[in-house]
Amino acid sequence: MLLRPIWNTAVQTIGKVIMILISLVTTAILTRRLGAGIYGGFVLTTSIFLLLDALADFGSRAIGVREASKNPEKAEEIFAQLTGLRLILANIGFVIGVILIFTFPGFAEIKWEALISLLMIFFTSIAGSLEIVFQTRMKMDLKTIMDVSFPLIFLISILIWPGTLKLIWVMVLYLLARILSLMVGQKLVKWKITFKIEKMGYWLKELWPMGVYLIVFTAYDRAVDSMMISRFLGLKEVAWYGLSYKIYNSLVQPAYFFVASIFPLLSSQIEGKKKLFLKSLGLILAVLLIGSPILSLMAPWMIQILGGMDFVPSIGVLRILIWAMIFAHVNHLLGFSLIAKRGQKSILFIGLCSLAFNILGNLWAIPRYGINGAALVTVYTEMLSSLLLGVRLWHLK
């Protein structure tokens, strides 16, 4: 039962290692050529984009995989309907993004750069539709090729850039890399990208708990921190925190890959799903027990490679976030297991509790303890989510 998921996870892990190596080089180039202040603008812009991308996705990837896995004879129709819905939501996200760019003070000096980045929401929407196809067919190994091509093309483009690397050109190259990687993905999945404006009411009713949760999760996972740090401390502190958070997110990705691989099995009608869950939880905890102390010791080295001496404050932040990583790994398994049991409404309630805690915690901690305070709030937010998810999953068994 676990052979295909383990294969998918292994391939994705190898791909993620490659992506991390590419990201190390890319980030080292950007931090040094842009400087901490301008790099902070890059972090703020991409953080807000992720929030709008969550709106455009609205939970359609996870729910789409679940429904297509349960109804394989209707999979193609489901793919087309969700692609149409995703494009509509992407347009709504774009409008909200434009309003935010021209009203939030943090974008005062980088309006055009932010607008260029915002255009990527349409192409990321299509990439998400392809991911539904990849995951339903359990071809996550092919998806990994598409994922690797995105940062690789971006790295190559900034390496060969002939002139001064300004933030606006970074955003242009970022957008072009997304488009080219999308073309790679479409060729690999061999699925003709089609969309239907059908059953929108049904899908919105089915998706809204998970969709709102993803927006809430992305808000406290990325946007709230960056916006509050920029408001209270400035863009340089956004850069220091953002560099540590970038590493943290990379360290959490293997858990997502593994759980995404077993999600079709958790959503199916097969026997032994409880045993699959317990084995998966044991594997995740074993890896964390060995890896977390090693990662903490490596924190100064990772920050030195990525940012240099200008980013020394990021070391303490990263060591704090490693504790959050432990709970985040477990949360992936608990969350996807709840979705498989149609418990997305519970996830929404838990997400709203976590968001409220995160906002209040950051409002109190950032002015007093700076970026280290923001990192501690992240740890306690993930801890709270683990507790609430675990209790709810226990009651559904």
Instruction: Report d(CA 367, CA 266) in Å as an integer.
Output: 43
Instruction: Report d(CA 27, CA 33) in Å as an integer.
Output: 10
Domains identified in the chain, total number: 1
Residues of the chain with pLDDT below 70 are: 1-9, 12, 138, 264, 267-273, 344, 397
| DSSP per-residue codes, 19-36 | HHHHHHHHHHHHHHHHHH
Long-range contacts of 226-232 (CB under 8 A, 24+ apart): 226/43, 226/44, 226/47, 226/48, 227/44, 227/47, 227/48, 227/104, 227/106, 228/362, 228/363, 228/366, 228/374, 229/366, 229/371, 229/374, 230/40, 230/44, 230/106, 231/105, 231/106, 232/366, 232/367
Q: What pLDDT is stored for residue 71 in this prediction?
A: 76
Please return the burial class of 37, using the count of CB atoms within 10 Å of its CB with bins 0-12, 13-18 and 19+.
middle
Average pLDDT, the chain: 84
| DSSP per-residue codes, 122-172 | HHHHHHHHHHHHHHHTT-HHHHHHHHHHHHHHHHHHHHS--S---HHHHHH
Amino acid at 393: L
Sign of CA dihedral 365, 371, 376, 382: positive
CA nearest 151: which of 24, 40, 241?
24
Give the three-state DSSP class for 213. helix
Q: What pLDDT is stored for residue 303 in this prediction?
A: 92
Q: What pLDDT is stored for residue 390 in this prediction?
A: 86
What range defines the domain where residue 109 resides? 3-396
pLDDT tens for each residue of 339-369: 777 776 787 788 889 889 999 999 999 999 9
pLDDT tens for each residue of 219-245: 877 788 888 998 888 888 999 998 999
Could you tell me what percent of the chain has a pLDDT over 70?
94
Contacts of 142 (CB under 8 A, 6+ apart): 134, 188, 189
Q: What pLDDT is stored for residue 4 in this prediction?
A: 59
Q: What are phi and psi of 226, to 5 degrees?
A: -65, -45
